[in-house]
Amino acid sequence: MHNPQLNAEGELTHLLTLEGLPPEVIGRILDTAVPFVSIAEREVKKVPLLRGKTVFNLFFESSTRTRTTFEIAAKRLSADVINLNIGVSSTSKGETLLDTIDNLAAMNADMFVVRHAESGAPHLIAQHLSASGKSHIHVVNAGDGRHGHPTQGLLDLFTIRHYKRDFRALAVAIVGDVLHSRVARSLIHGLTTLGTAEVRVIGPKTLLPTAVESLGVRVFHRMQEGLDGCDVVVMLRLQNERMRGSLLPSAGEYFKHYGLTPEKLRLAKPDAIVMHPGPMNRGVEIDSAVADGSHSVILPQVTFGIAVRMAVMSIVAGN
Amino acid sequence: MKIEIRSGRVIDPGHRIDREMSLYIDAGKVAALEEAPRGWRPDRVLDAKAMVVCPGLIDASARLREPGLEHKATLESEMAAALAGGVTSLACPPDTDPPLDEPGLVEMLKHRARSLNGAHVYPIGALTVGLKGETLTEMGELNEAGCVAFSQADAALGDTQVLLRALQYAATFGYPVWLRPQDAALSRGGVAHDGEVATRLGLPPIPSFAETIALDEIFELVRATGVRVHLARLSTHQGVARVRQAKREGLPISCDVAIHHVHLCDIDIGWYDAHCHVVPPLRGTRDRDALRAGLADGTIDLICSDHAPVDDDAKQLPFAESEAGATGLELLLPLTLKWAQEQRLPLVDALARITVAPARVLGLKAGHLGVATDADVCVFDPQAHWRVEPGELKSQGKNTPFHGLELVGRVRWTLVAGQVVHER
């Protein structure tokens, strides 16, 4: 199938999904991110790679954290950054998604960082830009519906590589609401592309999508079995509105079965790392003792996230 | 007016005719086949050499968007599309705005359609007021106004008690009811087949059993009420098996499939092609194969276009937010021919699915070329290759998942009641 994020030379011009990205492209992003981590420790935290470029953060769905990390990443690359919370401006005035895009394109945007509640919105925008002769504008998916969150997937891969080196020897367990999770989908694609020995998903049947095995994962319904011998445990956020209803009876029962406690973590390898895309629900999917414990790499994930987003933005802008 | 359609390959599935001959039309009726009537002096001769001459097509589901949705399409635009596609009779579902739940609306629609001098329009009335699934419509009045059947269109009826009563009431007077088998709760919010593709793309799913559970429920209610039910838009392989079994049991049911389901499956969604957003959703390859087999063995009676013109603005949206539907009136014939060719099916059998079979289900006298019947005729070039360019379609809806596809078979002349109403 045509991969809409690569140009004719096979270079990344948009980042829409990790699915179908060649391992070399992913590897290059991770490698590029390495020196960016140390930039944050310098007195002057800027490099001039995107000087003179204008990056629009288009958030059709609100998110403080992801938007902030993209903003910091773009600013450290010396870009001009405009934040637009579109969920509360133009669409409520009746403007269509693509009208908004056309207007911003006319303001000579160089890059759109897009967060949208519907799967496929960044693909639609990228296709529209290309159909209207504006393929020089790059699109970076900052999370679309249940589909993908590729920069989160990349920062997860970066974190795992940082602590564990070789993917081909690892067992990675992803725990929780896989059904609604774009984070899980992106990470699964990234892990399988890089040859991870075993990718597991753990959750109740109500929170796992149909045919999830077709993504290349092993399915577990019990933490005790799924965590056994794992090198990496990725906890997913459980949205408030899903804690009670027909998907789950209660947050308490969810925690009992799928919350990560020090006892359950002991089933994983002694040097296992624990990750979470944030924001965490302490006492729902993760116990504070684990979140703040020695296995947790949740805060380094945030730091790496900025470096990875700098790498993505500089690479797509350069192609 | 005397018209002679000369030396074409006449295919009349209703009479199992397939041979080269001429068709003679006089005063709007079929006057003779093969041998000219005595003293025949035609006013016009259509040279049909190397063409196929068949009954005008009957499309069992075509939305004309009137009343109320004229920004999507008008009777003028869709009538032109029908005739360009060789369609001379069509049934339109009641999902207009307002829905066809009052005799006045139906009379207005029929009147508007007649004044355009195009295809015959057979409205399907709403089964419940406003298609809300609460109150029965005045089916008797609607029937007198011209409704040939009653349906909920795509609005699934969630309340089984209401459905039972609607079926009992319709059965009392012998009105057929058209139902799209889809469980309301299980399909709520869904936009794509519940399988690998929807999981990968993160699209809200509609499971196959949303169809089979609805079918089982409908079959039970058919047994209980004796109502004649037409099952609209079958989509799953399990559904085909259920219908096959129910027909074997002798239930008074018939069933159709939309032409896009005959050719496409969920993989065709690619990276969120909103043109592939249709209801029911495009399902897996196994389902598509079963639908084709079901058509071939007669489990599925007929093919319809399920024509649904949608304006660009409503399609240029993320997949799940886009409006479902595909334009189809002008593609029904070539896509049916494509299916026949791929299945190595005789043309006479393939054309039956879009002529005599829908006529039977709709209770129309049309759909065949018997002497003294209305001369509704489609003459097409079975060798003409053409590419689907949405901009060149007559329909106001340019939304088709088949854009850019090369098809074979193009309508040359369409006649309604002995008048040439389309030629190219």
DSSP code string of B208-225: THHHHHHHHHHHHHHHHH
- Report the distance separating Cα A77 and Cα A47, nearest Å: 5
Confidence of residue A220 (pLDDT cuts 50, 70, 90): very high
Interface test with A, best of B200, B273, B316, B322 (most A CBs within 10 A): B200
Interface test with B, best of A19, A96, A114, A119 (most B CBs within 10 A): A119
pLDDT at A192: 98
For chain B, give me the number of helices (H) and strands (E)? 14, 18
pLDDT in tens, B326-337: 999 999 999 999
pLDDT in tens, B283-297: 999 999 999 999 999
C-beta atoms of B317 and A96 within 8 A: yes
Residue A24 pLDDT exceeds 90: yes
C-beta atoms of B271 and A123 within 8 A: yes
Confidence of residue A90 (pLDDT cuts 50, 70, 90): low
Q: Could you list the beta-strand ranges (E) of A18-78.
A: 54-59
Work out the angle between the directed axes of helices A150-164 and A182-193 (0-180°, nearest 10). Answer: 50
Percentage above 90 pLDDT, chain A: 86
Residue A62 pLDDT exceeds 90: no
- Report the distance separating Cα B129 and Cα B420, nearest Å: 39
Confidence of residue A241 (pLDDT cuts 50, 70, 90): confident
C-beta atoms of B316 and A128 within 8 A: yes
- Report the distance separating Cα B239 and Cα A101, nearest Å: 42
C-beta atoms of B200 and A19 within 8 A: yes
What angle is formed at CA B56 by the lines to CA B42 and CA B155, rounded to 5 degrees?
Answer: 155
Q: Which residues on chain B are in Cβ contact (under 8 Å) with A182?
A: 202
- Report the distance separating Cα A173 and Cα A195, nearest Å: 15
Please check whether residue A48 is in contact with residue A313, taking contact to mean a CB–CB distance below 8 angstroms. Answer: no
C-beta atoms of A147 and B317 within 8 A: no
Structure-block tokens of residue B99? 């829905």
Please check whether residue B227 is in contact with residue B170, taking contact to mean a CB–CB distance below 8 angstroms. Answer: yes
The partner residues of B71 in beta bridges, in order of sequence, read none
Residue B281 pLDDT exceeds 80: yes
Q: Which residues on chain B are in Cβ contact (under 8 Å) with A236?
A: none
Q: Which residues on chain A are in Cβ contact (under 8 Å) with B313?
A: 96
Between A and B, how many CB-CB pairs are < 8 A? Answer: 79
What angle is formed at CA B299 by the lines to CA B298 and CA B303, rounded to 5 degrees?
Answer: 70
pLDDT at A89: 54
Mean pLDDT of chain A, nearest integer: 94
Q: Which residues on chain A are in Cβ contact (under 8 Å) with B316?
A: 96-98, 124, 128
Nearest by CB to residue B272, choosing from A124, A212, A215, is A124
Q: Which residues on chain B are in Cβ contact (under 8 Å) with A1?
A: 270-271
Interface test with B, best of A91, A149, A210 (most B CBs within 10 A): A210
Please check whether residue B379 is in contact with residue B413, taking contact to mean a CB–CB distance below 8 angstroms. Answer: yes
Tell which phi-psi region holds residue A145, choosing left (phi > 0), alpha (psi between -120 and 50) or beta: left
pLDDT at A145: 96
Q: Which residues on chain A are in Cβ contact (under 8 Å) with B271?
A: 1-2, 4, 16, 120, 123, 127
Nearest by CB to residue A211, choosing from B195, B203, B317, is B195
C-beta atoms of B318 and A119 within 8 A: yes
pLDDT in tens, B191-231: 999 999 999 999 999 999 999 999 999 999 999 999 999 99
pLDDT in tens, B133-192: 999 999 999 999 999 999 999 998 999 999 999 999 999 999 999 999 999 999 999 999
Structure-block tokens of residue B283? 């399902």
Q: Strand order of the sheet with strand A80-85? A: A80-85, A54-59, A111-116, A138-144
CA dihedral angle for residue B121, residue B126, residue B129, residue B134, rounded to 10 degrees? -170
Nearest by CB to residue A120, choosing from B313, B316, B319, is B319
Mean pLDDT of chain B, nearest integer: 97
Instruction: Name the helix (H) or strand (E) containing B6.
Output: strand B2-12
What sign does the dihedral B364-B369-B374-B375 (CA atoms) show? positive
- Interface residue A210 vs chain B (CB under 8 A): yes
Nearest by CB to residue A119, choosing from B202, B270, B313, is B202
Q: What is the mean pLDDT of residues B73-86?
A: 96
Interface test with B, best of A91, A118, A185, A214 (most B CBs within 10 A): A118
B115-142 per-residue burial string, b: 16 or more CB within 10 A, e: under 16: ebebbbbbbbbbbbbebebeebbebeeb
Nearest by CB to residue A123, choosing from B196, B207, B272, is B272
pLDDT at A91: 54
Structure-block tokens of residue B204? 């809200």
Nearest by CB to residue A118, choosing from B200, B207, B321, is B321
Q: Which residues on chain B are in Cβ contact (under 8 Å) with A121?
A: 318
Q: How far is B396 from chain A (nearest CA, A)?
A: 21
pLDDT in tens, A106-130: 999 999 999 999 999 999 999 999 9
- Report the distance separating Cα B141 and Cα B163, nearest Å: 20
Work out the angle between the directed axes of helices A121-131 and A97-106 (0-180°, nearest 10). Answer: 50
For residue A292, CA distances in Å to A256, A296, B366 come to: 19, 6, 77
Residue B340 pLDDT exceeds 70: yes
Please check whether residue A79 is in contact with residue A55, taking contact to mean a CB–CB distance below 8 angstroms. Answer: yes
Q: What is the mean pLDDT of residues A305-317?
A: 97
- Report the distance separating Cα B55 and Cα B368, nearest Å: 5
Confidence of residue A3 (pLDDT cuts 50, 70, 90): confident
C-beta atoms of A120 and B203 within 8 A: yes
Q: What is the mean pLDDT of residues B67-94?
A: 96
Of the candidates B313, B306, B312, B282, the one whose C-alpha atom is nearest the C-alpha of residue B390 is B312
- Report the distance separating Cα A14 and Cα B235, nearest Å: 36
Residue A92 pLDDT exceeds 80: no
Q: Which residues on chain B are in Cβ contact (under 8 Å) with A148?
A: 202
C-beta atoms of A120 and B271 within 8 A: yes
Please check whether residue B16 is in contact with residue B355, taking contact to mean a CB–CB distance below 8 angstroms. Answer: no
Work out the angle between the directed axes of helices B285-296 and B237-249 (0-180°, nearest 10). Answer: 30
Confidence of residue A243 (pLDDT cuts 50, 70, 90): confident
Nearest by CB to residue B313, choosing from A96, A145, A146, is A96
The partner residues of B5 in beta bridges, in order of sequence, read B23, B46
Nearest by CB to residue A119, choosing from B196, B270, B319, is B319
The amino acid that residue B16 corresponds to is R
- Interface residue A188 vs chain B (CB under 8 A): no
List residues of chain B with CB under 8 Å from any CB of chain A.
Answer: 194-196, 198-205, 207, 270-272, 274, 313, 316-321
Confidence of residue A8 (pLDDT cuts 50, 70, 90): confident
Q: What is the mean pLDDT of residues B11-33?
A: 97
Please check whether residue B169 is in contact with residue B136, taking contact to mean a CB–CB distance below 8 angstroms. Answer: yes
Q: CB burial class (10 A; 0-12, 13-18, 19+) of residue A229?
A: exposed
- DSSP letter, residue A60: S
pLDDT at A88: 56
- Interface residue A120 vs chain B (CB under 8 A): yes
Of the candidates B24, B15, B30, the one whose C-alpha atom is nearest the C-alpha of residue B374 is B30
C-beta atoms of B318 and A98 within 8 A: no
Q: What is the DSSP string of B4-67?
A: EEEEEEEEEGGGTEEEEEEEEEETTEEEEESSPPTT---SEEEE-TT-EEEEPEEES-B---TT
The amino acid that residue A23 corresponds to is P
Please check whether residue B322 is in contact with residue B274, taking contact to mean a CB–CB distance below 8 angstroms. Answer: yes
What angle is formed at CA B406 by the lines to CA A1 and CA B337, rounded to 5 degrees?
Answer: 115
Regarding beta strands B406-416 and B377-387, do their DSSP bridges make them parallel or antiparallel, or are they unpaired? Answer: antiparallel
**Catalytic annotation, residues of B:** 306
Confidence of residue A30 (pLDDT cuts 50, 70, 90): very high
C-beta atoms of B272 and A145 within 8 A: no
CA dihedral angle for residue B151, residue B156, residue B159, residue B165, rounded to 10 degrees? 10
Q: How far is B291 from chain A (nearest CA, A)?
A: 22
The amino acid that residue B334 corresponds to is P
Structure-block tokens of residue A315? 């690479």
C-beta atoms of A185 and B272 within 8 A: no
- DSSP letter, residue B360: H
C-beta atoms of A116 and B272 within 8 A: no
Percentage above 90 pLDDT, chain B: 99
Q: What is the mean pLDDT of residues A154-180?
A: 97
- DSSP letter, residue A90: G
The amino acid that residue A198 corresponds to is E
C-beta atoms of B195 and A97 within 8 A: no
- Report the distance separating Cα B236 and Cα B193, nearest Å: 10
Structure-block tokens of residue A298? 């949740």
Interface test with A, best of B271, B316, B322 (most A CBs within 10 A): B271
pLDDT at B263: 98
